[in-house]
Structure 1
Amino acid sequence: MEQQKSILIEGKNSVVEALKAGRPINKIYIRKGDRSFFRLLLELARENNVPIVEVDEQFLNKISITKKHQGVIAKGSPKAYLELEDLISKAKTTSREPFIVVLNEIEDPMNLGNILRTCDCIGANGVVIPKRRACGVTPTVLKVSEGAGEYVDIARVTNIALTLEKLKEEGFWVVGADMDGELYYEKDLTGPIALVVGGEDKGLGRLVKEKCDFLVKIPMMGHVSSMNAAVAFAVIGYEVVRQRMLKNAGRT
């Protein structure tokens, strides 16, 4: 497959964060008459020598993929993916205990965008996604993440099950989010953690579940039997943060 040469970044916050993060941007289109509204964006563009082109609303609507461009669309280089080994190495060099998120066949760009946003909020070291049967970093993902996608490292792998084996060899506890598990707040989620979240309809799958050290679940008290993948990740992800904060507080 030919490597993608460029990607559209849509929306004010997404473009601003792309510029702040140093992503190579070729050109930025803004809606005519909106220069005052995009003052910070224009300053960042000048600092990075990125040309600004004023266009009418119809042009933006025509090229927009998300249909939520907010009057600005940038054309830039695609997000660079890391090798798994590099993601693990970076995770181990931070001051916090390593926390990597593994997504098994998340296909909805809205879910991936929200997960990346939560990852940035909770300080996760990065995300692992499969190369096939999964959503990559698209304009919709970047828009939904509100710029957080610029700061979260992502590794793409061929085989999730083998990846979990590698993470265990590197000292991570592999925790799967699954309704067959124990209550998430009753398990110890401190230490190096790789949290595995399954696809929207498929869950983790038998082989991936078998590779996990243990499974955790969120209690369900209503009429439906499952929770949105991005919401489930946020609930468990913040429990990881809570437990680590309590653990660190106990040391001081």
Structure 2
Amino acid sequence: MSNQSSADSDWTDHIRRLMTSLKLSQADLATRLGVSRPTVTRWMKGSHEPTSASYLAMGNLLGLPDAAYFWERAGVDPSNFPATKLQGSISSLRVDLRDFTLISGKKLTRGIVDSKSNAVILPLLNITAYGDRIPPGPHVTLAQAEVLDVLMAPLSWCPHPENMLCMHLCGDSMAPLIPPESILAVDTGITDRAQLDKKLAVFSHREHGFKVARLQRLASSDILVSANHTDLPVDVTDQAKWKAVGAVAWWVSKDALPQNVDKN
């Protein structure tokens, strides 16, 4: 975001209270949010405002009711949550998840989030992970990514809520496990390859963009293996070129439309 005058930078007081509440130093907050220490320093001075993604992450660190300020600064419509506690259900979300199916086999219906549940607001970024060998358009890095929309999910779905983000999936390389055009929730707090071994993960290449598949660590190489075995494995051994973005925590996809039945 562009520079702001110190008179308008009330975010500094809220960030200071956040750090006090969670007993975090500026360095601690930078680490938790995945930003640099100088970035936090500029926020505290009021010279630069946090990005929408950083506001969402800070809100997720706090949880309701204290998260409301940060989520509003990120552009989330405050009518989506009361000032004191989250109430309602998945059907009240800004992104209507009634049209989605959780791939664990459960249908997302009313009642999954009740008045006693904690929730996390996740940024849906303008980045796309792909499965086949041809990237879907120009590569947008995480640093360049913008928030297109937000999703709300139960806290229990988000092991590291401040590190969660969402992205689109393009292509059928993960079918039938993950249908094309799904939305992936990625836990960027898990990037160690030993932890990602045999898990669904997203990797990033500076030229080829984001790749999603299951990581398999072999004796002398790391490869990504797609669910659709018509797609060849991808060698991601070179850590200078292939960076681990995080583990796929869960995903949602649109229900398949029923096929027309020929009654003749």
TM-score, shorter chain, exceeding 0.5: no
Normalising to structure 2: TM-score of the pair? 0.27
Higher relative contact order (CA 8 A, sep 6+): 1
Normalising to structure 1: TM-score of the pair? 0.28
